[in-house]
Structure 1
Amino acid sequence: MKRILLLALFFVVITVSAQININIGSSNVGVAPISSFFSYSYVQQIYPKQEVNANAAGNITGLTFYVDSSSTITESSNWTVYLGHTSKTAFSSGTDWIPAAQLTQVFAGTVTKNNNKVEIVFTTPFAYNNVDNLVIAAKENSPNMDINTFDEAFHVYPHIPYSTLYYKGDRGAVDIASPPGGIRADYKSAVTISGLTPSTSPACPFVTYPVNNTQNVSLSPNFSWLPVSGAVSYKVSLGTSSGSSDIVNQQSVSGNSFSPSTALAAGTTYYLKVTSVSGSTESSGCSEIVFKTVPPIPANDACTGALQASAFPYTYTQNDAVSTTNNAGNISVCTSNGDTGMNDGTWFKFTGDGSQFTIKVTMPSGSSFDPQIGVHSGSCSNLSCTGTVDNGGGGAAETLTITTVSGTEYFINVGAYDDATDAPENIFTLTITKL
């Protein structure tokens, strides 16, 4: 009898440990895994392998979702549930559904709320490979809706932007082979995944800032990451080479953000690693985030440092304009389109010879930088407006033609169009052509 009891207890321990809880303490509600507030819904959610944090591949035998205590799901209980694998971590648009061919139906039937939970047991387990990210999809087929205090009934938690894609409506049950356009969300269901054994170490945090390979990061950045279920603290390391921690060495952090105590160096590549800690265990195998800080202040940041154009056509690509200082403030010498000035950006100069000159500023493809050109005569301490142009919007080229006076020195300022605030400049190419 004693042996049988011990054996039974052993299997109970194995069963309890073979489940992964993901943010089951969350109390927010949202449209996942289904919508209780509309007649029909279809929801796909992506749980990255990093977040699932299983110790090995295995069979998923069921899912548990968490219902707000004040909510009912009586009219939202006819479910079809699917699981699948995917390599992507987010949905790129409202039609970026994971194809039905990549999904396996694991449940179809009526679900019930019991102790503020919906527990679904699969007839046939789903073999999760622990290589790809996990897709959890659910379709609600009831023609009615539940009226609840918070509209939606199920608990969700914030996560990677666009990691959920949902459709909700009253037209009819969704055909998952050709779902209608949906809405992306930055949250997912609090869920228990049954059948998988969690890793002995906590999951690696998702760093939200900076994104890997980001350029032009501030010299005083505020690193941030998403909270890890079960983590009590985090450790931050920062170095100037891969795997190093010469700037910050395993700094313990209780929250989800951290700022270095001293400013970083300009134009420098850094390597950031954030790990989570649960008890005496630290997450392992976490990826580094590589980023580069803003470049040093440009040599032509001020009028007195204007770059000389002496041969034409003159072309210069300004890659470090993001670090301009706006000096003593915006320049109000010239006005354009009702604006009373422009940002003090970067400066160039040339000497007129009586000819006409065309000054053009272009941006690389995809740029949102909105430049203004200001051309001045006189001296840096006493500028006089020759001409200005701000006809385009973000990413649009600007062109200005002036007639010069022989022997007069002209100062060209390329700055952001804003006449009131210090809007950031960005990469541009200046071309000066003599007509």
Structure 2
Amino acid sequence: MKKILLLSLLSAVLMLNAQINLNIGSTNVGTAPISSFFSYSYVQQIYPKQEINTNAAGNITGLAFYLDSSASINDSSNWTVYLGHTTKTSFTSGTDWIPFSQLTQVFAGTITNNNGKVEISFTTPFAYNNTDNLVVAAKENAPSIDINNFDEVFRVYDHIPYSTLYYKGDNAVVDPASPPGGIRADYKSSVTILGLTPRTTPACPFVVYPVNNAPSVPLSPNIKWFPVSGADSYKVSIGTTPGGTNVINQQVVTATNFSPSTALNPGVNYYLTVTSVSGGVESSGCADVIFKTVPPVPTNDACSGALLASVFPYTYTQSDAISTTNNAGNISVCADAMNDGTWFKFVGDGSQYTIKVTMPSGSAFDPQIGIYSGTCTNLVCVNTVDNGGAAAAETITITTTAGTEYYINVGSYEETTDVAEDTFTITVTKL
């Protein structure tokens, strides 16, 4: 008798642990897993393997979704639910539905609000492979709507951009084999996945910024990541080698963002690792995010450091993405002139000079050239050129006065953070 009781208790504990809760405490609402405020809807959501964080492949036996216990879903209760596998983490457009052929129907019937929870049990479990990401799709088939203060009622949480794709309307039940164009959302349903056992360590966070292999990251970046369900803190490490901690060594953070107290060095590759902690247990196997900081600020970032062109033709190549000095008080005298950029200078001799700025093929750099005389603290506009959009080259010609010093500002109306795109070559030619 005692043996039977112990086995029963063990079975109950295993069943209780065989579920994964993802942000079930969220109070935000959205159009997922269905729309309660439109007659018909079809929604697909992607839950990454990293977020599910199960210890092994296994059978999903059901799902639970969350809402306010007083919410009415009587007219939004006719559901058909599908599950599937995908390598996607997000939807690329409003028509980027995961094909119906990749989905398996796991439920069709009527659901109810059971004290703030909709529980769905599968007659046939779905075999999750724990290799791919999980697709949860649902369509709502009832022709009526639930008012509920003119809003959706199901709880959602913010996550990977465009990880949900939904359609909602009042015309007809959606055919999942050929759904109409939908709307992408940056949230997903708060959900319990039944049947899967979570790992003994919490999930690794998804780092939002910087993205992996990001170039030109600021020296004091505001590192951000999505919260991990159940995590009570996080640890941040930064190093100059894979898995390194020589810059930041497991700094404990309770928020979901972090900025180093000491600025990073320019032009350096860094390796960032963020782990989550739950009840003193830390996530394991979290991958590095690699990023490179902005290059060192050049000497000609400001007018006072302008590079001298003394032999003509003078040619110089550099990137303007690193320009940071604001010179607006001096150079605004030229129409359309930039308040930043890089600087060059030469001394006139009465001849004509042509200044040309060229960009690499495919560059998004939108150059502007401003020519000034005077001093850096009291510049006078001589001429300026801006074609109003990205072009292969910009050219300007001026007639100089002997002995007068001329300053050239090369700026961009809309600089990018991509050094390769912002690279330009300046050529100063005496005619």
Asked whether the two chains share a fold, i.e. TM above 0.5, the reply is yes
Aligned positions of 1:131-150 closer than 5 A: 131-149=131-149
Q: 1:141 to 1:79 in 2, by over 3 A?
A: same
Give aligned-pair identity as a percent.
68
Runs of 4+ in 1 over 6 A off after TM superposition: 422-426
- Matched to 1:360, the amino acid is V
1:219 maps to 219
Distance between the aligned counterparts of 1:287 and 1:51, measured in 2? 13
2:194 maps to 194
Secondary structure at the residue paired with 2:75?
Answer: coil
| Shift in Å, 1:378 | 4.0
Indicate which of 370, 373, 381 corresponds to 1:374. 370
Distance between the aligned counterparts of 1:2 and 1:153, measured in 2? 46
- The TM-score normalised by the length of structure 1 is 0.91
| Shift in Å, 1:106 | 1.1
Secondary structure at the residue paired with 2:383?
Answer: strand
| Shift in Å, 1:405 | 2.9
Secondary structure at the residue paired with 2:300?
Answer: coil
2:354 maps to 357
1:93 maps to 93
| Shift in Å, 1:428 | 3.6
Secondary structure at the residue paired with 2:334?
Answer: coil
| Shift in Å, 1:366 | 6.1
Q: 1:113 to 1:99 in 2, by over 3 A?
A: same
| Shift in Å, 1:226 | 1.0
Distance between the aligned counterparts of 1:42 and 1:55, measured in 2? 30
- Matched to 1:410, the amino acid is Y
1:280 maps to 280
Aligned positions of 1:33-432 closer than 5 A: 33-149=33-149, 151-309=151-309, 315-319=315-319, 321-327=321-327, 329=329, 331-336=331-336, 341-350=337-346, 354-355=351-352, 357-362=354-359, 365=362, 367=364, 369-393=365-389, 395-396=390-391, 399-405=394-400, 407=402, 409-417=405-413, 427-432=422-427
Alignment gaps of 5+ in structure 1: none
- Matched to 1:85, the amino acid is H
On the 8 A contact 2:330/2:379 being kept in 1, the answer is no
- Matched to 2:212, the amino acid is N
Aligned residues: 426
Higher deviation after alignment, 47-56 or 139-148: 139-148
Render the CA deviation track for 1:223-263: whole Å, top value 9, x for unaligned: 11111111111111111111110111111111111111111
Q: 1:271 to 1:23 in 2, by over 3 A?
A: same
Render the CA deviation track for 1:34-88: whole Å, top value 9, x for unaligned: 0011111111111110100000001111111112223111111111111111112
Distance between the aligned counterparts of 1:102 and 1:316, measured in 2? 55
Q: 1:5 to 1:285 in 2, by over 3 A?
A: same
Higher deviation after alignment, 345-354 or 358-367: 358-367
Alignment gaps of 5+ in structure 2: none
Higher deviation after alignment, 376-385 or 110-119: 376-385
On the 8 A contact 2:323/2:341 being kept in 1, the answer is no
Render the CA deviation track for 1:361-412: whole Å, top value 9, x for unaligned: 5466363x5443201234445433221123314x455624323237454321
On the 8 A contact 1:64/1:193 being kept in 2, the answer is yes
- The TM-score normalised by the length of structure 2 is 0.91
Render the CA deviation track for 1:328-347: whole Å, top value 9, x for unaligned: 745223124xxxx4313101
State the superposition RMSD in angstroms. 2.5
| Shift in Å, 1:309 | 4.3
- Matched to 1:411, the amino acid is Y
